[in-house]
Amino acid sequence: MSVQVIVGSQWGDEGKGKITDILAEKMDLVVRYQGGNNAGHTVVVGKETFKLHHIPSGILNDSCVSIMANGVVLDPEVLLKEMNGLKKRGIAVNPSKFKLSSIAHVILPFHKTLDSNQESNREGEKIGTTGRGIGPAYTDKIARFGVRAMDLLKPEFLKKQIMKKSWLTGIGVTEKDIDDVVIEFHKYGKELEPYIIDTSLYINEAIKAGKRVILEGAQGTMLDVDHGTYPFVTSSNPISGAATTGTGIGPQLIEGVMGVTKAYVTRVGEGPFPTELLDETGEALRDKGGEYGTTTNRPRRCGWLDLVVLRYAIRVNGLTEICLTKLDVLDGQESVKICTNYVYNNEKVEHFPLDLDVFNECEPEYVELPGWDEDISKITDFEKLPENAKTFVDYVEQAVGVKVSMVSVGPNRVQTIFKND
């Protein structure tokens, strides 16, 4: 398949980084189409662990070009640090391996201040943002006074554009502060200049030339600003449709959409979560799964796999296949539960309710499957999994009607089962 989208089907942190890294071996381009450094990808290569926020994990593959397309928001300081950190560890990061869209919007220090001010003012309804300035940067983009990567190279225009932000005075920003930021960000722009291109043109030409492309979404379906658990969402569209606006390619070019789905569910930040486990099982999943945020180190909330959410993700993303991750984390559970539907007002609910007040009150109904004792983290052949683990995977596949093509049983590249091979 030459153009494939990879999305998270839950609330993010499903393990997309690892899966993208593996698929990147067979790919020529890995493109991120939305989000910023609120995302965090942990990728384990041999004995080395890489934590990436901005650069797609394809960068760890020598033959792959990594692209931050127009739909992302970028913090140039963080990006440059990440690039230098990778270079120091011997990873090639150069303009032929890494490209940045000239029209990707830029996160300014003022956006971060506004992000945390807004969060502290949200009494009783905190979103739990990562505080990276993502929401305010996207707000400015839509309000048409955003700053784009190419604008960093034009200091006068940059200042003019920043001065249009009338909200700056409200957070005590002076003209001197703006001048300082213009100098600093122009410097970042000069450093990034060799990487800045028209990525839509580049990607389209690559597709025409028969190159194989992954379009990688950050976060997950339920954090989508339109289709997620609004307002407890991020400020962009992680769903697959955004892969076209976020890159500038036509939808007819996309040949498949893989939904990366954890074998249980986690969520960082606030908002309803019907299958959340507030008991020792939840703690066990957190400990075994290392469920602490890559970006903020916050403990993630853990719960059982939720098929209402998965079916919704299949619908809004058009998932053509599922990659089930972290199945090994369920090792040793006497039994494992899967939420098949909710109950609200004594009625069965099979579709994700858009009204958050309803979602909040939904009680999950579960099917309980027998667990397995074996350590499955070294198994690479689906048939060699314990019967109960296979039943778990088969159950999910049959219940949602989409094939599970990959199963991940650990953080390393080798801990991956290609089910249909």
> Half-sphere exposure (CA, 13 Å, Cβ side) for 367?
12
Cis amide prior to 231 (ω within 30 degrees): yes
- CA separation for the pair 269, 377 (Å, rounded): 29
Q: Specify whether the CB–CB gap between 262 and 290 falls below 8 A.
A: no
- Least Cβ distance, residue 218 to ligand IMP (angstroms): 6
- Least Cβ distance, residue 124 to ligand IMP (angstroms): 16
- Least Cβ distance, residue 8 to ligand IMP (angstroms): 8
DSSP string, 212-252: -EEEE--S-GGG-TTTSSTTSS-SS--STTHHHHTTT--GG
- CA separation for the pair 373, 333 (Å, rounded): 7
Q: Is 13 a catalytic residue?
A: yes
Residue with smaller CB distance to ligand IMP, 101 or 219: 219
Residue ranges that bind ligand IMP, judged by CB under 6 A: 12-13, 38-40, 127-130, 132, 134-135, 218-219, 223, 232, 234-235, 268-269
Residue 132 Cα to chain centre, angstroms: 15
Residue with smaller CB distance to ligand IMP, 133 or 248: 133
Q: Specify whether the CB–CB gap between 135 and 73 falls below 8 A.
A: no
Residue 82, SS3 per DSSP: helix
- Least Cβ distance, residue 104 to ligand IMP (angstroms): 16
List Cβ neighbours of 113 (8 Å cut-off, separation of 6 or more).
171
Report the residue number whose CB is nearest to ligand IMP: 269
Of residues 21, 41, 111, 306, which has the active-site annotation? Answer: 41
Q: Which residues pair with 6 in a beta bridge?
A: 216, 258
- Least Cβ distance, residue 204 to ligand IMP (angstroms): 28
Q: Which residues pair with 348 in a beta bridge?
A: 343
Residue with smaller CB distance to ligand IMP, 40 or 246: 40
- CA separation for the pair 93, 141 (Å, rounded): 28
Q: Is 41 a catalytic residue?
A: yes
Q: The tokens of 43 are what? A: 């990728």
Residue with smaller CB distance to ligand IMP, 138 or 352: 138
Residue with smaller CB distance to ligand IMP, 39 or 393: 39
The catalytic residue positions are 13, 41
